[in-house]
Amino acid sequence: MTSLTEARANFAARLFEMYPSFIPTQSIYLDLEGRKNGSEDILSLYWPVLTGSERFTWMRLSENIPITLNGFLKHIESLRASEAKWIIVFSGGKEEPDERNRLTDLLGKDPFIDRDWINLHHVVQKSQSLKQSIREHRNVWHCKDRSRVRYSLEALEWEFGIERAQHIRSHSNCYRDLAGGNGAMEVLSISQRSKNGTASDDEETSLKQYCEADVKNMFHIANTSERMVFSKTERSSRRSLH
């Protein structure tokens, strides 16, 4: 059985082998919720340069207010995040993430054309010990296909000791630590109700918590990985170079 320590170390080593100059605290963590092809309901961001609750922000499509390129650029400027050097996602598409294409389709233009994108899902795919650990632990699987191992963000989170509350776990996934039960978050349905103003207060709260977890946990994993690979002195030296 692969230990969690070994699995985490494998992912951390591979992350910085693939992206040696990557600084987790100088990166924006981004996630989209929607139906692709430019039809996105939510754009979530996590900017660790800020403090506390200010780190997470989101832009949501409403019946009358679209998510636009101009609005996004103003939002980034308000966060003082224009100096971010990397854009971090967990997405299909291997090294070139689908999320980048989805953002471009949404805004009509890639707002980060001159930045480096890092797809953590691609790093998972390149981390053999981590993948083996996910297969062995099988803490999360698609409810309709238990035989298929999913190298999902929630599976990666569990390997790094992050356990979400049931109400912000995906309803399409089942979980070993929930005795095979599924999550409660139906993100597309709730975001649709939020958009048309029919979501309950509890649903609005859960939706925000779910979206924040997606981007915040990516930062936690990346930051933990850096601490596993580099000493405090080395981390300070790396930051001074950028």
151-160 pLDDT, tens per residue? 999 999 999 9
Asked if residue 63 has pLDDT above 70, the reply is no
Mean pLDDT on 73-87: 92
The predicted structure's pLDDT at residue 148: 78
Break the chain into its structural domains and give their ranges: 4-230
The correct CATH number of 4-230 out of 3.40.30, 3.30.420, 3.30.2030, 3.30.70 is 3.30.420
The predicted structure's pLDDT at residue 37: 66
Q: At what angle do helices 4-18 and 128-137 cross, to 10 degrees?
A: 150
The pTM of the full predicted model, rounded to 2 decimals, is 0.94
Q: How far is CA 189 from CA 132, 137, 171, 199, in A?
A: 33, 30, 11, 9
Asked if residue 133 has pLDDT above 80, the reply is yes
Q: What is the spatial distance between Cα 11 and Cα 63, in angstroms, rounded to a whole number?
A: 41
Least confident of 104-118, 137-151, 167-181, 195-209: 137-151
